[in-house]
Structure 1
């Protein structure tokens, strides 16, 4: 048994020195690589999808979504890469955001700053959106083809930030309910 102690100690010392050497080389390699020091902050995927869609022509937009629908992610990334001239990683991220958060095509002339669309007539969508709010045993529902996730999200944000009157006004603007019904609905969103 005593004859095994010395070889085990030598093996442990060699193992520890190999680990220390590997760690030192790994640190040196990480400092030598440019751009590896600080990871880039993540962008909001919805904003990334909007920005990516704005860079495409109507034909490119149609072709890109056709490829996404067919499950041809690599072809979609290549199309975006060729169409915009962005890098491969940026193209991959943009196509991923466009797939996760589909964006309608908007011609460059009709691009609006956020908040400007409140000044125009509400857009009618080809589907009816159902918004449901409840508190306790009270439930209210608003169904409208002038609502979508984005508009309803803005209305909820207004309500949760304490601007219930602006939220009720926006809700009446994007639906066919009265101001009284809108206030009742918004009151259920307020927490």
Structure 2
């Protein structure tokens, strides 16, 4: 009987240690969940508009170039250095800007109501925009003067949301590639 007392005490101590550790972990997870859910009350489109307004035209262009290239960390760093906001706020801003692309608006411009997307008549820009997508050993490039960061961001958003046909159609409207080539390009954007 005495030989069972020591193993029983060890078993009780281990059970108490597991219970204390489990309680501490559940409290930490609850605090993290509460903290992570706090930004859910904020409209991500409004976060994107506000974040875009804090950038100069050059910073805006560079940030969207990084987002289009899939360099999220570099985009967050650029936003962080450009605005002086905290890392978490910079991450949230870049995430919102990637999900809801915003055109650059100069600080003196009057606020304009949401403009309808006029994708039927592509605008020609004075520069050629290069969009590159790759997966494994396969790389595709689209170069067009009818593309810019904003339009390419919308195309990537469509592709990532699963609407690949609309993304491919939009890409053909804003470039000189065939629908088949656009579909191959969009297939490489699936992350």
Q: TM-score, normalised by structure 1?
A: 0.49
Q: Which has the higher contact order (CA 8 A, sep 6+)?
A: 2
Q: TM-score, normalised by structure 2?
A: 0.49
